[in-house]
Amino acid sequence: MTTLALKVTPNADGFGAEIRSVDLSRPLPPGVLHDVKAAFAAHGVVWFPDQPLTHDQLEAFTLQLGAFGWDPYVKPMEDRPHILEVRRDADETASVFGGTWHSDWSFQETPPAITILHAKIVPPVGGDTLYADGVRAWEALSPTFQAMIAPLRSVHSAAGPYGSKGFYAQEKGRTGMTILPSVEAEKAYTHPLVRTHPVTGRKALFVNPVYTVGIEGMTEAEGKALLAFLFKHMTDERFVYRHRWAANMLTMWDNRCCLHNATGGYDGHTRVMHRTTVAGDAPRP
Given this model, what pLDDT does residue 2 score? 41
Specify if 1 maps to a domain. Answer: no
Classify residue 167: in a domain, yes or no.
yes
Q: pLDDT tens-digit profile of 6-32? A: 999 999 999 999 999 999 999 999 999
Residue 2, in any domain of the structure: no
What's the mean per-residue pLDDT of the chain?
97
Active site residue 50: no
CATH code of the domain in which 155 resides: 3.60.130.10
Instruction: Find the radius of gyration of the CA atoms of the chain.
Output: 18
Residues 43, 87, 102, 191: which is the catalytic one? 102
pTM of the model: 0.97
Of the listed 43, 71, 88, 104, which one is catalytic?
Answer: 104
What is the count of structural domains for the chain? 1
Residue 226 has pLDDT above 90, yes or no: yes
- For residues 8 and 32, the answer to whether their CB atoms sit within 8 Å is no
Say if 105 falls within a structural domain: yes
* pLDDT above 90 for 264: yes
Q: Measured at the alpha carbon of residue 182, what is the angle toward residues 228 and 227, in degrees to the nearest 5?
A: 10
Residues 127-149: tens digit of each pLDDT = 999 999 999 999 999 999 999 99
pLDDT at 3: 45
43 is annotated as an active-site residue: no
**φ, ψ for residue 48, nearest 5 deg:** -125, 105
Which of 82, 87, 118, 260 is the catalytic position? 260
In a domain, 284, yes or no: no
A 10 A CB-CB count for 233 gives 17
222 within domain boundaries: yes
Rounded Cα distance, 37 and 33, in Å: 6
Q: What pLDDT, on a 0 to 100 scale, did the predictor assign at position 1?
A: 40
pLDDT given for residue 4 in this prediction: 58
Residue 242 appears among annotated catalytic residues: no
The residue range of the domain holding 27 is 7-278
Tell me if 15 is assigned to some domain: yes
The verdict on residue 283 lying in a domain is no
At 150-174, the pLDDT tens digits run: 999 999 999 999 999 999 999 999 9
269 is catalytic: no
pLDDT digits (tens, 9 = 90+) for 76-118: 999 999 999 999 999 999 999 999 999 999 999 999 999 999 9
